[in-house]
Structure formats: C-alpha cells, structure tokens
A = this chain, B = another copy of it.
C-alpha cells in the first residue's frame, strides 16, 4: 500500500495546530492508513522555549521557526493548509475556516494556550507577551526603544520609567526573560548606550506564589532566585500585580509598592485557546477541554484534544490536570497517534499517563537550574545541560546549527547581536 493523500480511501483526521502536540501526532501517523490534514494559521512550527532569546536579541526568528511544509514534505499521507479555524460543526463533522470547510472523520484540537490576564483589561492592553514570533519581535523592539527613549529624556522620573522593566510571573519564561534583561543591562547597555548610566536600568520579577519556578524543587527555586539576584534582578514573591495606569506609568503591587514603568512583560499565566462550536459544557478549568484518559472530549468521541488545551483528570498523579508544558503535549501527541491507529483497527486504546522528565530554566551565563530524570544540578553544568537539551529538542539540523552558532557568538562577544528594531514604535499612551 502506498499512502497518498489524494488517492487514499482512508479515514480523514484533521489536526488543528502545528505545535509540540500536533507535531508528535503527525510523526506517528506518517505513512499509515490515515489521511491527515494539518491546519494552522502560521506556516511554521515555533520553538517557544527559546522565544525569550528572540525578544532579547540573541536569536533571529528564523532560528526557532521551522516551516511546517518542510516537516510534512516526506509524509505523503499528510497535507497542510494555512488557515484560521472559525468554527467546528460536530454534527456534520466539519471544520469551518477562512479558506473554506473541511470534513473530518476524526478531529484533533491541538491549539495550545494563550496568555491569561485574568480579566485585567488595562494590563492586557499595555503588557507585552511572549507567545508568538511577532510578540517576541515586538518585545525586542520595545526594549531597545525604551533605551533610545531614555537617552532623549531629561527628567529623572521619565528616565526611570523607561528603564524599569517588570516581568510578571516567575515560571520558566518569566525567570529566563528577567535573566536575559539583566544580561542586557550588564552587557548591551554599557556597550551601546554609553550615555546612559546602566545602573538606572532595573529589572523586576513579580511572582504571586511563594517561590519562583514553583514546578521545580525548593532547592532549584531558591537557587534560581539567588542567580537572578546576583544579576541584579529585584525578585518579589508572594506579590501580585494589581493595577496599571498608562498615563503615569504607575504599576501598583499587592504589597503597596508602586513601580514606574513603560514595560510590563506578562508571563503570569496561560489559558486554553478554545474554538467556537465545541459545547461550553466541555470547557473547564483554565479554559481547557475536559478530556477522558484517551484525550477524547467528553461526549464527542471522534473529537480529541491534546496538549495545553486538554484537561485530563484521570491520570492518578495529576488529579487537577497536567501542567501546560511541551513534554505533556508531546507525550499526548505520541500516544494519540498510536491510539488512533488502534481505534481505526478496532483495538482498545491505551490511557494516558504523563512521564514527568523534569524541568529546567536558564537565568544567564553559567547560571541555570536543571532537574531531569531526577538529576538535580545548578550553575555551570546545569547551564551546559540546558543548552544541550534545547539544541537536541529544536526541530531540524539547520536550526540547531544556527542556534549553536549564535550562542557561541553571544558567549564570546558578551553581546546580543540582533539588537535591531524591525517594528514601528507603538506608543503606550
């Protein structure tokens, strides 16, 4: 049997989303007796864990983006369509998109997550986020434009406002972004902006929980906080962000403190990216779809959800759902691929259990925390391990080479080479 998308009379699976989950699912189905259409509004997969390095000018977007068409090119039973999904009709088994309707036999929703501002409209409007490549380029432009702005201000309070950077949320993204900003203060600012007193730049990391990197062990949390503080980041735990006044630049915290800033980077939470047409009753905590142990959406047996968008409570170790991280998404993608083939062949499916491989985060040069397969490391070796694993996890040999080259360059030069502003300045007020 030669699998071919156009001629094969096989069940048709539509996958919405070419992220970590969708990608692993596709790989499992390569050359199998199933016809697969991948829909994504972008034509590339992007490697989110390194997004903060695009924002801080250490990498270009092409280093972490990989064309989806290139991934599926050697997979004759799989097609890609660049499309924005508008609605799902489960009755007629149709996905409505901006480029037309697609009929499915099986549907897999792998749309991932979006930033959660928990209803705070002012923060949503004025915060930067880090969920897409345009987000990252916007943030990079904004950071550099704040430096430029600081040069043109004569008033102390305005300079302070331009040079105060507040990262909200102490998960891996928040910790890594705050660390990258602190390194820009140390290396980029004194080199490029000699006219600015680099000491005036302040990086704040605000976390509502009692510690940063709450998903890791206490020792890693403590060490990460110590690394951040060594780099000059003001870390505040047990502290929430309350209100932002764009006129005055006042950001008020739950402890009564007010920080004057133009730049709030929001990494304090995510929520599922749901699609119209799936009944509201299926949407549960974190705006995620309630799924059973096979990632089936309750009540609609031929519709699956995997990755961040899926909320599963059957996995014994995770009664309140899995963490919204890449490894869960990947493992669910792999298992669903196998289960779908079983389903088609009328074999029983296997329930999902998450194998937690661990977690890691880099704060800066020679400073990382690492907990993989129970091995706990901090500092230099952890930093090497973090780099090695990220290089391995990247998709495509070219991207690995490009990232490695940039890292070597940044390491030797102490700089972030790509400090170019490619987007127009969007005033905050």
Contacts and interface: CB of A to CB of B under 8 A. Distances in A.
Interface of A: 5-6, 42-44, 60-63, 65-67, 69-70, 73, 79, 81-82, 99-100, 133-134, 137, 144-145, 148, 151-152, 191-195, 398, 401-402, 405, 409, 413, 415, 417-422
B192 A422 contact: no
Contacts of A42: 420-421
Given A60-B62, A67-B192, A192-B67, A417 B398 contact: yes
Nearest to A419: B67
Contacts of A193: 69
21 contacts: A5-B195, A42-B421, A43-B144, A60-B62, A61-B420, A61-B422, A62-B418, A65-B418, A65-B420, A65-B422, A69-B192, A70-B191, A70-B192, A70-B415, A73-B194, A81-B151, A81-B152, A82-B148, A398-B413, A398-B417, A401-B409
A199 B167 CA distance: 51
A272 to B, nearest CB: 23
A44 B420 contact: yes
A417 B69 contact: no
7 closest residue pairs by CB, A with B: A60-B62, A69-B192, A44-B420, A62-B418, A60-B60, A65-B420, A82-B148
Contacts of A415: 70
Contacts of A137: 422
Contact of A398 (B62, B70, B409): B409
